Amino acid sequence: MTNWWDSLPLEALDQQQWEALCDGCGRCCLHKLQDEYSGELFYTRVHCQYLDLAGCRCTVYPTRQRWVPDCVVLDRSRPEEFEWMPGTCAYRLRAHGKPLPAWHPLRTGDPESVRRAGITLDERAISEEHVHPDSLEEHIVHWVDSREETA
């Protein structure tokens, strides 16, 4: 039996399905740096101050652009913009026609499966409130997880 998350293209999802694709890892809320010459993207361990690290969800999600004007709102009609998302991100995976990982909450029926799989930030990240913006380079991380799939 094929599930909607494996079969429907992103453009066909309703808003509830679209939101359900988010696994709640919190990695999209990390500050990222991009090399101006190579274009390579680097993740830092520094997260937006509005990320609730315990639940890995934005505390101001409905109005996030009011508080963080450059917070990206994913647009299902522009999947090329998903390339900055983590390789485990369901939006990015589905944009490439790939299935969701086995630990994804839609597959397991358990919102904690992403945490048990070691994908969430947990205590590995720190709030931007504690980091000077000029020192972000000191916080670059390379979290490689055997459960990650790179798109």
Q: How many domains does the chain have?
A: 1
Instruction: Answer whether residue 146 is part of any domain.
Output: no
* CA–CA distance, 21 with 89 (Å, rounded to integer): 9
The dihedral region occupied by 118, where left means phi > 0, alpha psi between -120 and 50, and beta the remainder, is left
At residue 73, the pLDDT reads 86
At residue 122, the pLDDT reads 79
Instruction: Answer whether residue 48 is part of any domain.
Output: yes
Instruction: Answer whether residue 113 is part of any domain.
Output: yes
At residue 80, the pLDDT reads 85
Look up the domain containing 15 and give its range. Answer: 9-141
The secondary structure of residue 26, as a DSSP letter, is: -
* CA–CA distance, 58 with 56 (Å, rounded to integer): 7
* CA–CA distance, 100 with 20 (Å, rounded to integer): 12
At residue 79, the pLDDT reads 87
The secondary structure of residue 98, as a DSSP letter, is: P
Question: ∠45-30-44 over CA atoms, to 5°?
Answer: 35
Report the amino acid identity of residue 120: T
Q: Look at residue 52 and give its three-state secondary structure.
A: strand
- The candidate with the shortest Cα–Cα distance to 71, out of 35, 25, 125, 29, is 29
Report the chain (151 residues): mean pLDDT per 10 consecutive residues: 86 94 93 92 94 92 93 87 89 93 96 92 90 94 55 33
Report the amino acid identity of residue 23: D
At residue 144, the pLDDT reads 57
- The candidate with the shortest Cα–Cα distance to 42, out of 138, 118, 119, is 138
Instruction: Answer whether residue 53 is part of any domain.
Output: yes
Instruction: Answer whether residue 64 is part of any domain.
Output: yes
Which helix (DSSP H) or strand (DSSP E) does residue 127 occupy?
strand 126-127
At residue 26, the pLDDT reads 92
Instruction: Answer whether residue 121 is part of any domain.
Output: yes
